[in-house]
Amino acid sequence: MRIIVAGGDGFCGWPTALYLSEKGHDVTIVDSLVRREIDNELHSNSVTPIASLQERVDKWKELTGKEIKVYEGDLNHYDFLSLVFKNERPEAFVHFAEQRSAPYSMIDRKHAVYTQQNNVLGNLNVLYAIKEFEPDCHLIKLGTMGEYGQPNIDIEEGYIEIEHKGRKDTLPFPKQPGSFYHLTKVHDTHNIMFACKIWGIRATDLNQGIVYGLNTEETKKDPVLANRLDYDGVFGTALNRFLIQAAIGHDMTVYGSGGQTRAFLNIKDTVRCVEIAAENPADQGEFRVFNQFTESFSVQELAEKTKQAAKDLDIEASIKNIENPRIENEDHYYNAVNTNLIDLGLEPYLLTQDVLKEILQEALEHKDRIIVDNVLPKVTWK
């Protein structure tokens, strides 16, 4: 298939682009490279050294003979996006190209507005480009499990059957997003659902859990293909932060009680889920939702698992509970459904001690790159 991976230079996008290329698809990356600029803004970096995007795709072609085309530009610029669609005529559009950090969206008014504009308007442009140029193109959109919040009922896949005053209907599952970033994903969901209804667009919303891991089989082929590993208090997810803190002998900082429970999946499952969605497209006019995760853990459980992995490598790691910079429930019910992708053939990679130790060893190898001041949270919701 002809597949565009928007945001193909990022943590999820880069390994996805390589995986789809390896599988024989004609892959094009669209990326503004703004994530690299944000590293400079935050005085932060990836623990793993990452080559430029052009160096990456050149190395991939050298190793495999497969070409990945690159367009550098912003989805918010419709003339640019139109050119990409006219040139590439995508059969699937994998949309990773959004500002993905909740803390970044909560820094101040400027960052909240940027996140909303970049994410919501960029996605709206993609919908119009599909309508105008490739109406049969399948939109595979990265959503988030964070759209749902932590309701005191089971989380279904996108929809829920409601009985009210003697009548029944199947409605979109209620959303309780926890940041201005998460709100953009909810707005995207509504816009995509509406576009499917009025224009007959086919779309799959992948409500992804928190991704952990680092390498895929493709990124391990050469150091130039290495994936990024974020660890700071803005872009580093809880598990990656704990691993990096353990590597430098810093307390693993658990926010609040640590009872916050979230859905997780391995980066290797991220790329496979995208492939499953591409090979099993939504019907014309269908807006379907897959809850894209494999396991659920509390933050405290992740810290304990990391502590054990560190101990196996003769590292004495300690856990410290600190004041929670976020406004969120810390002890709550959490049970989410994830049957659709499993039914379509996903065989999950689970969070094992070996997986944790692999990431920890990578962090130890590049320990000199870790900026210690960045491992603690600096952004508060209040």
Per-residue tokens: 128: 């119009």
Residue 164 confidence (pLDDT): 98
Token pair belonging to 29:
């990356």
Question: Does the annotation count 64 as an active-site position?
Answer: no
144 is catalytic: yes
Given the residues 16, 28, 144, 216, the one annotated as active site: 144
pLDDT < 70 regions, the chain? none
Alpha helices in 117-249 (DSSP H): 122-133, 180-199, 238-247
- Residue (of 193, 17, 31, 53) closest to 97 by Cα position: 31
pLDDT at 308: 98
Q: Calculate the CA 58 to chain-centre distance.
A: 25
pLDDT of residue 381: 98
DSSP sequence for 51-118: --HHHHHHHHHHHHS---EEEE--TT-HHHHHHHHHHH--SEEEE--S---HHHHTS-HHHHHHHHII
Query: Is-contact 238 302, C-beta < 8 A?
Result: yes
The mean predicted confidence, pLDDT, of the chain is 98
CB 291 within 8 A of CB 340: yes
Q: Give pLDDT tens digits for 308-332.
A: 999 999 999 999 999 999 999 999 9
- Helix residue spans in the chain (DSSP H): 13-22, 34-42, 53-64, 78-88, 102-105, 109-116, 122-133, 180-199, 238-247, 267-279, 299-312, 339-343, 353-365
Task: Please say if 334 is a catalytic residue.
Answer: no
Cβ neighbours of residue 137 closer than 8 Å, sequence gap 6 or more? 90, 91, 92, 93, 130, 202
Residues sharing a CB contact under 8 Å with residue 356, sequence separation 6 or more, in sequence order = 243, 305, 306, 309
CA distance 335 to 154: 5
* Both tokens assigned to 274: 């995208």
Which domains does the chain show, CATH number per domain? 2-374 (3.40.50.720)
Q: From CA 138, how far away is CA 287, in angstroms rounded?
A: 10
Amino acid at 243: L
**Angstrom distance (rounded) from CA 249 to CA 253:** 12
The per-residue pLDDT for 314 is 97
* Of 141, 185, 268, 305, catalytic: 185
pLDDT at 67: 98
pLDDT of 83: 98
What is the model's pLDDT at position 9?
Answer: 98
Do 160 and 201 contact (CB within 8 A), yes or no?
no
Contacts of 312 (CB under 8 A, 6+ apart): 353, 357
